[in-house]
Structure 1
Amino acid sequence: MKTNYLLTLSGLLLSFGIHAQTRMATGGQKPMPAAEWIDADTGHKLVRLTPLDGANESFYFHNNPFVKSLGTEGDKMVYYHTSPAGKALYALNLKTHQTEPLTRAFSKVHGEIVARKRREVFYQVGDTVYATHIDSKKTRRVFVFPADFKADITTLNADETQLGGAWGSDAEKEIYRQYPAKKDFFNRIYDARLPRTLFMVSTEGKGQLTKLFTDKAWLNHVQFSPTDPNCLMFCHEGPWEKVDRIWTIDTKTQAVKLIHKRTLDREIAGHEWFGADGKTIWFDHQKPRGETFAVTGTNLKTGAEKSYALTRDEWSVHYTSSADQQIFAGDGGYPTSVAKSSEGHWIYLFTPAGDHFQAEKLANLKMHDYALEPNVHFSPDGKWLIFRANFEGQPQVYAVEIAKSAS
């Protein structure tokens, strides 16, 4: 199935005298009367990238969803589509806006790991890891977790030879079962101090499991460096003001290193991600929690840190950086989040200026329910910010243009 829905929809709308470049309040109508419009509050163009054929969601903020074009066909973005049949991985051509399924629908599926060089997407169904080729759609079974080590993959290393993740004990799984809401399980798991194990699984052959490191701590947020195949980042999960959160492990030597040490009471550092060159780990930084706000980067070689301050309203659930790390973006926040701002509901572009960010509002997410985190990504050409939102009534994937519209 392929749909060039955006072009068709735009043509239909124009035939009714509705112009795609109309200024409208984002989320002011459910659904919006056009697939693209100018945000009335910011003057930036928004485009719905996914068709209104069910719920569609882009990836978590540090998971790469893109593969380069073959010839002139256009870069592709992988995303999740949910229909009555279940949840499937789809690919969207960012040039033509055609969409196509990559996998069949599953009742439960997770993983969302794109291999740019292999042009495969890795995902997990139950205890089995699969890989599907984005162009040929050929699927292979990569690995089956043994009965005594049921775990989940979350990341892929730079040379695409190893998948990584963290295993949790049966006692931890029982806490999740009894207390499925985050507000109920979060402190319980942190306080339990149950063992967790970082691991790798080979992407080739029958797959080989390598156990890297075990600690009686909630090891989480596992990410491989985008450039160093032996550098794996992880966190000590829990209340951020109680943990020195950000760590790395060398998968060859198994040497573990703390990246940022807290220096005052209730300081927090979290939602960490690698810069595109792999030289810096960036993170949300508050000293103390809920009072000052910044994005800080730690140089992995020297340990030197650089911070950019921002205001309470500009704080975002997640941040990200462009390929050259010259500009940043954030997905805003909601009144009950850590910043406690009633005016934080924006997609932001951040430009470093000395020791702070200059912020520009790109899209108004006032009508979005932040129970679904937007998780912003820079597009491969650097001209758009791509995010997910539910202001039309169900989750869809959108792009907002960084340059202001001339209309």
Structure 2
Amino acid sequence: MTKKRSTYLLIAFLVTFPVLISCKEKTDKSEKSASEEKKDAIPVLMTGEGKMPSTWIDKTTGHQLKKLTSEGDNRSFYFHNNPFVKAKNSQDWLMIFYKTTESGNQLYSLNLTTQEQKAITTQPGKKRGEILGTQSRKVFYTLNDSVFASHIDTQQTDFIKKLPEGVSVGTNTLNASEELLGGVVATEEEAELFKKNPKKSDYFNLIYEAHLPRHLMTIDVENGELSKLYRENAWLNHEQFSPTDPNLLMYCHEGPWHKVNRIWTYDLSTGDTTLIHKRTVHREIAGHEFFSPDGKTIWFDLQIPRGETFYLAGKNIDTGEETRYQLERDEWSIHYNISPDMKTFAGDGGDKSQVAHAEDGQWIYHFTPNGKELDSEKLVDMSKHNYDLEPNVHFSPDGKWIIFRANFEGSTQIYAVKIEKHKA
């Protein structure tokens, strides 16, 4: 080989070598990037088939879920009871929930951003009531025979009222000004009936048929004064104060829905009662009522007649106008809820034993109004969930997630599903 040719080969190698190194580095980086992506990928799984990870994609629906609680048994609030309040930093949101502990059920807060949990109550015993004051930052509840309030941030607990002895009584709601708790006072005779018939299947028709007197009542948060308001020989129940009008209290005539005109309001300032929806045909039912966030509409499950034609209906309190959105049988839900912007709805589905007898109804749904109907999207496959536990859906405060409780892992836990479909 000539000296000149050797020089050319050496120059060519020196020019090519950095390129080879560069290609190798790119290949290594590409392989590392692919490996990291695979490691960070959210698993796609059938919801409820075994122990679920902290987050996963529902294989059936393509929506992302995350587990908000995991230890012990944990329950989110009933569907129409607001569980959300701003954190002290005014940026994050807290969700209040019940955690089962060795000392009984305790109220906790969960930071929806950091997932940090903090105990609000510590007193032993079973607590009743899911009442949150967002202005006072207190949770109100009944323990044994007394009503208490515990501060979310300081955990300071205040005694409010010892309830009348031997009487079935409870507080279930807080008015918009957070001055009054609302509830009912019953009779000793009714309390005895509940005591002797603790199962709902035993007492439900029994209490309805008894037609014993009940009072709507309020308790002053500051001084504990109990005031009896309106009396009727009927099973008054499901009290809910308007979120905006401190004088408007919604309540229902409890009992077999097809036998009652269920949904009513009571005006504290005038004493007037108003029927929200009157039955029009035999076996028509309306129930599981709730206020819109602006307090202008009362929404409810409407079936004309029971188990045949299904609607989500809303009655405008001021105008009396009623809106109806029709649903398919499989889309019927035990409970519905409305988004913070009041544009869409959520539903928790139901199994074959429920009133709709749906063949394929075990889903968490997102509904969008379309004319006189609701377009539905399935978010979570709930086929592994036992509907003896009602999921009770809530929209997250930002409207991007739907929060619910479920037992498809065995224990009762709280989950969130993202409304926007996951993009791989």
TM-score class, shorter: over 0.9
Alignment-derived partner of residue 230 in structure 1: 247
Q: Does 1:211 align with 2:232?
A: no
> Offset at 1:73?
5.3
> Offset at 1:311?
0.5
Alignment-derived partner of residue 43 in structure 1: 62
1:93-108 correspondence to structure 2 within 5 Å = 93-108=111-126
Q: Deviations over 1:95-115 (max 9, x none)?
A: 100111111153211111010
Alignment-derived partner of residue 116 in structure 1: 134
> What is the aligned counterpart of 2:289 among 272, 290, 294?
272
> Offset at 1:302?
1.1
> 1:259, 1:217 → 2: CA distance?
17
Alignment-derived partner of residue 76 in structure 1: 94
> 1:149, 1:171 → 2: CA distance?
8
1:97-246 correspondence to structure 2 within 5 Å = 97-147=115-165, 151-204=169-222, 206-246=223-263
> 1:237, 1:67 → 2: CA distance?
30
> 1:107, 1:143 → 2: CA distance?
17
The verdict on how the C-alpha distance between 1:20 and 1:26 changes in structure 2, with shifts beyond 3 A counting, is farther
Tell me the TM-score normalised to structure 2 length: 0.89
Q: Unpaired segments of 5 or more residues in structure 1?
A: 1-13
Q: Does 1:27 align with 2:48?
A: yes
> What is the aligned counterpart of 1:308 among 325, 331, 355?
325
> 2:341, 2:281 → 1: CA distance?
32
Contact kept? 1:127, 1:151, Cα under 8 Å = no
> 2:124, 2:382 → 1: CA distance?
30
Tell me which amino acid in the other structure corresponds to 1:293: F
Indicate the larger mover: 98-107 or 235-244.
Answer: 98-107
- Count of paired positions: 389
Tell me which amino acid in the other structure corresponds to 2:109: A
> 2:89, 2:327 → 1: CA distance?
41
Alignment-derived partner of residue 55 in structure 1: 73
Q: Unpaired segments of 5 or more residues in structure 2?
A: 1-34
Rg comparison, structure with higher value: 2
Alignment-derived partner of residue 347 in structure 1: 364
What do you get for the CA RMSD once the two structures are aligned? 1.5
1:199 aligned counterpart, secondary structure: strand
Q: Deviations over 1:214-243 (max 9, x none)?
A: 100010011000000000000001111110
Contact kept? 2:76, 2:97, Cα under 8 Å = yes
1:314-393 correspondence to structure 2 within 5 Å = 314-393=331-410
> 1:347, 1:105 → 2: CA distance?
35
Tell me the TM-score normalised to structure 1 length: 0.93
Q: Which runs of 4+ in 1 moved over 2 A?
A: 17-20, 69-73, 146-150
Contact kept? 1:87, 1:105, Cα under 8 Å = no
2:149 aligned counterpart, secondary structure: strand
> 1:70, 1:21 → 2: CA distance?
31
Structure number with the higher helix fraction is: 2
Tell me which amino acid in the other structure corresponds to 1:41: T
1:313 aligned counterpart, secondary structure: helix
> 1:127, 1:405 → 2: CA distance?
48
- Percent identity for Structure 1 against Structure 2: 52
> Offset at 1:148?
6.5
> 1:239, 1:275 → 2: CA distance?
25
